Structure 1
């Protein structure tokens, strides 16, 4: 059974400065809920009970968000706002959440290495803390777990991207096992259009067997002098079965301003409280452009 998750959330969020000078980018809200809470909810809905977050300097607000807030709870209770009180309590009760500090920003691979002792000799999932994924077939993390049970190997979420955009992503080179599952032969980080073996890009959700740690430990710093997870994956696939799952759905990249705004609009349109009013305003506003 896969019960442990790792959520890297130590990055500086420089693309959202000055907002992220004192507030973590993972705490930026989509409507009224921080991005990282959506990520934790996906993990919990997938059967995960134990979550380790990798955080860094200036990320204390993440810890506080998932902790109890007795004064706030008491205030809500006095105001008889019981619905919000239950929502606030539920945040701290979703899962067993632990934190470890990445003291230096040495790349995603280094962040994952910080989880070695917590994970132990178990398979585990990774959910990037600044990216949301939605699928018509349920939580993408749950889908990775289902493929792992069938194939007995690491599984990486994949999304189709426009061929001219492959140079922005890590992509898979492999052969189809089924309609949506690829057996990986190689992982290539940001290939040129001409070099890309596919347009199936890594989509911020991973399931690894514990062997990944031994490869991360021997991976030399790569791009930006950081330990890159893709470099370790490229070595691991030579000796261990790895698969890609082409999920049906959409990835929302909250790590850039335009993606953040688009995500808020899409989620707002689906929000039962404000959706209709927002739709009417957008139609009116679009007519004035």
Structure 2
């Protein structure tokens, strides 16, 4: 039976240091694309994918995000006080999640696809039936692999692969030029796995990534990648943010502008 996936977590707590000094005033997820904050496009994608409840993990300049969305009853917030990585940020949402599968989004990646990226992943998650995680993957340049992550996989078909390794920001040899993008559909087993993880044991200043959790779970062989059919913009870099605004200006793509938020 297909899972009804109605909850999502958005990670939006980062400092946005690459956009300093403007991010000392405006949190990076609220930087505009056209006349709307980046975060609007992520939420709109989720709504068009069937999500009914959104949990946003906030941190830096959190009051701006909380005030902007205060009239949206389907949005809840949790606060990441310590900037110790994306995995601890996700774990903070545990108490607001039901014990079922959920979507996970990074707030600085904007997608355009039909169906929406999250909907594509939900459909594959339900089709497989036994996945711990389904993520989108795409081929990128070597320079971007070193900024993002690199995945190893087998059984590559037209759409779905089984992931066997993932390396975060590899500076040496890397498995492939495919990277896992900032969209996931996760079973609740991801949260259960993180129950046993002690973030403080990893040393002061050490960041733990969602990809670290995925790598530990890969021994089960239930992590899958979907070759993403659509466009992705990394608005976490100045170049990517400008490219996204240019795409909007030139009407090169539809970034869910009509969603009612």
Q: TM-score range by the shorter chain?
A: 0.7 to 0.9
**Higher share of residues assigned helix:** 1
SS of 2:182's partner is: strand
* 1:146 and 2:123 are equivalent in the alignment: yes
Counterpart CA distance in 1 for 2:168 and 2:22 is 30
- Post-superposition shift, 1:67? 2.5
* 1:12 and 2:5 are equivalent in the alignment: no
* 1:270 and 2:255 are equivalent in the alignment: no
SS of 1:149's partner is: helix
Counterpart CA distance in 1 for 2:20 and 2:50 is 35
* 1:204 and 2:185 are equivalent in the alignment: no
- Post-superposition shift, 1:47? 0.2
Counterpart CA distance in 2 for 1:205 and 1:224 is 25
Counterpart CA distance in 1 for 2:18 and 2:59 is 17
Pairs aligned (count)? 245
8 Å CA contact 1:219–1:232 kept in 2: the answer is no
Choose 1 or 2 for highest CA Rg: 1
- Post-superposition shift, 1:17? 1.5
Matches within 5 A, 1:125-274: 125-135=103-113, 137-152=114-129, 153=131, 154-163=133-142, 165-176=144-155, 178-192=157-171, 195-217=173-195, 218=197, 221=202, 225-239=206-220, 241-270=222-251
Query: What stretches of structure 2 of length at least 5 have no aligned partner?
Result: 254-261
Q: TM-score, normalised by structure 2?
A: 0.87
Counterpart CA distance in 1 for 2:213 and 2:185 is 14
Change over 3 Å in CA distance of 1:191–1:223 after alignment to 2: farther
Matches within 5 A, 1:78-117: 92=72, 96-117=74-95
8 Å CA contact 2:53–2:74 kept in 1: the answer is yes
SS of 2:220's partner is: coil
8 Å CA contact 2:30–2:37 kept in 1: the answer is yes
- Post-superposition shift, 1:271? 7.9
Counterpart CA distance in 2 for 1:222 and 1:172 is 26
Counterpart CA distance in 1 for 2:252 and 2:138 is 25
Runs of at least 4 residues off by over 3 Å: 219-224
Counterpart CA distance in 1 for 2:45 and 2:145 is 26
8 Å CA contact 1:2–1:123 kept in 2: the answer is yes
Change over 3 Å in CA distance of 1:222–1:162 after alignment to 2: farther
8 Å CA contact 1:169–1:201 kept in 2: the answer is yes
